A and B are shown apart, each in its own frame.
Chain A
């Protein structure tokens, strides 16, 4: 991939990802409301919320917290830039982990017990989804012979055919990453009340807006992973990828509305069982067959 197309992709991601992420969040709230027999907020409601956070005053118990939150936003954006410029999948995963570590530190930096328990639960969640994400990268490497996103993108064979187990496992941990029930332990995407507001209890004003915007960026990047499963260098593959992305998000909304929140032990055990059952066996099979 040449430098100019890389720059276009990165700028496109920087501008389009928050717009798409915001619309996705709005549609999510609308569909959730309809599933509950309500009319629901306008599609642009997440945008109004973020603009309101910026208008409001900010109360920060510990000044360093805002710095960590901004680092979180910055590293989520960098993660997406690496991914959409066709960079290394492993680098994407490590940068995403670093971004999440900043969020956890931000929550730990205030002495509020609610945000501290939220931060601990965020660590459990990271423990739960990290193995499956690594197995996803390994799976892509075994199929296309490279960790580079642009090589996987143009590989002649659809990775999904070889990685069905890993794909299902990835959908499973997507519930955790999208902050949806039953695994929205540290904080919910919606305004559910558990531990006050969990991880974001002490965030207000601009730092809350930053958390919300980075959630939009992160969601689009994760859907990019789903898209990658269906790329085989043809237009049909790209269209299939986009359709599956939309279906995957809809599936997560259905799951969100069908389940109550579960304990962190359930989240950890079930996602590790899924990672071993689907991820490791899929990778093992690929190693023997390919």
Chain B
């Protein structure tokens, strides 16, 4: 365990979610689940975030926004798609304006299914994401040493 997985700061973006998954994400911060126990903080600033939580499907309107937030996050970072809409587009999949899941725009590391995803499942997804974050950090260190 390094410091990266001891203080993962998350940024939450609502694609075109019905708010069901958003409320479950925020429920993780309440006294019942209290994810700050693990050093997780819900920040609004992509430049200070390590974990990108996305709820809802991607449409033509928010495609650019999601890409921009992803690009503004410093490496290493992980993307977690929360809820079935973010996974695959869900029931909105066939809409004329919906592109599908988040992975149609940016690479997704962890998929948390559910409609809406339970807070327990979201926390489990973030914990899975932390091990991926750790792998990414090691990979980037190896790459840095190789280039130096």
Interface residues of A (CB under 8 A from B): 29, 33, 36-42, 45, 48-49, 51-52, 55-59, 191, 193, 196-197, 200-205, 208
**Does B120 count as interface, using CB distance less than 8 angstroms?**
no
**Does B47 count as interface, using CB distance less than 8 angstroms?**
yes
CB pair A45–B72 under 8 Å, yes or no, is no
Q: Which of A36, A41, A52, A200 contacts B3, CB < 8 Å?
A: A52
Q: Which of B9, B36, B76 contacts A40, CB < 8 Å?
A: B36
Q: Kindly list chain A residues whose C-beta atoms are within 8 Å of the C-beta of B7.
A: 45, 48-49, 52
Q: Kindly list chain A residues whose C-beta atoms are within 8 Å of the C-beta of B44.
A: 193, 196-197
Q: Which of A40, A56, A57, A191 contacts B37, CB < 8 Å?
A: A40
**Does B39 count as interface, using CB distance less than 8 angstroms?**
yes
CB pair B39–A45 under 8 Å, yes or no, is yes
**Does B63 count as interface, using CB distance less than 8 angstroms?**
no
CB pair B3–A57 under 8 Å, yes or no, is no
Q: List 10 A-B contacts (CB under 8 A).
A: A29-B36, A36-B31, A39-B34, A39-B37, A45-B7, A52-B50, A56-B74, A57-B74, A191-B42, A200-B48
CB pair B74–A58 under 8 Å, yes or no, is yes
Q: Kindly list chain B residues whose C-beta atoms are within 8 Å of the C-beta of A37.
A: 31
- The distance from the CB of B51 to the nearest CB of chain A, in whole angstroms, is 12
Where chain A touches its partner, the secondary structure class is: loop
CB pair A191–B31 under 8 Å, yes or no, is no
CB pair A203–B3 under 8 Å, yes or no, is no
Among A56, A58, A204, which residue has the most Cβ atoms of chain B within 10 A?
A56
CA of A230 to CA of B85, assembled, Å: 62
CB pair A203–B39 under 8 Å, yes or no, is no
10 smallest CB-CB distances across A and B, nearest first, come from A51-B3, A193-B44, A57-B74, A204-B47, A197-B45, A37-B31, A48-B6, A191-B41, A38-B34, A52-B3
**A195, closest chain B residue (CB):** B44
**Does B137 count as interface, using CB distance less than 8 angstroms?**
yes
Q: Kindly list chain A residues whose C-beta atoms are within 8 Å of the C-beta of B3.
A: 48, 51-52, 55
Interface residues of B (CB under 8 A from A): 2-4, 6-7, 9, 31, 34, 36-39, 41-45, 47-48, 50, 72, 74-76, 137
CB pair A204–B48 under 8 Å, yes or no, is yes
Q: Which of B2, B31, B41 contacts A38, CB < 8 Å?
A: B31
CA of A56 to CA of B136, assembled, Å: 11
CB pair A55–B2 under 8 Å, yes or no, is yes
CB pair B75–A56 under 8 Å, yes or no, is yes
CA of A57 to CA of B143, assembled, Å: 13
Q: Kindly list chain A residues whose C-beta atoms are within 8 Å of the C-beta of B74.
A: 56-59, 204-205
CA of A37 to CA of B36, assembled, Å: 12
CB pair B47–A201 under 8 Å, yes or no, is yes
CB pair B47–A203 under 8 Å, yes or no, is yes
- The distance from the CB of A128 to the nearest CB of chain B, in whole angstroms, is 25
CA of A191 to CA of B50, assembled, Å: 14
Q: Which of A38, A56, A197 contacts B50, CB < 8 Å?
A: A56
Among A38, A201, A202, which residue has the most Cβ atoms of chain B within 10 A?
A38
CA of A102 to CA of B45, assembled, Å: 22
**A40, closest chain B residue (CB):** B36
CB pair A41–B31 under 8 Å, yes or no, is no
Q: Kindly list chain B residues whose C-beta atoms are within 8 Å of the C-beta of A208.
A: 48
Q: Kindly list chain A residues whose C-beta atoms are within 8 Å of the C-beta of B2.
A: 55
CB pair A38–B36 under 8 Å, yes or no, is yes
- The distance from the CB of A261 to the nearest CB of chain B, in whole angstroms, is 14
**B43, closest chain A residue (CB):** A191
CB pair A52–B47 under 8 Å, yes or no, is no
Q: Kindly list chain A residues whose C-beta atoms are within 8 Å of the C-beta of B137.
A: 55
CA of A40 to CA of B37, assembled, Å: 5
Q: Kindly list chain B residues whose C-beta atoms are within 8 Å of the C-beta of A205.
A: 74
Q: Kindly list chain A residues whose C-beta atoms are within 8 Å of the C-beta of B72.
A: 59
- The distance from the CB of A101 to the nearest CB of chain B, in whole angstroms, is 23
Q: Kindly list chain B residues whose C-beta atoms are within 8 Å of the C-beta of A40.
A: 34, 36-37
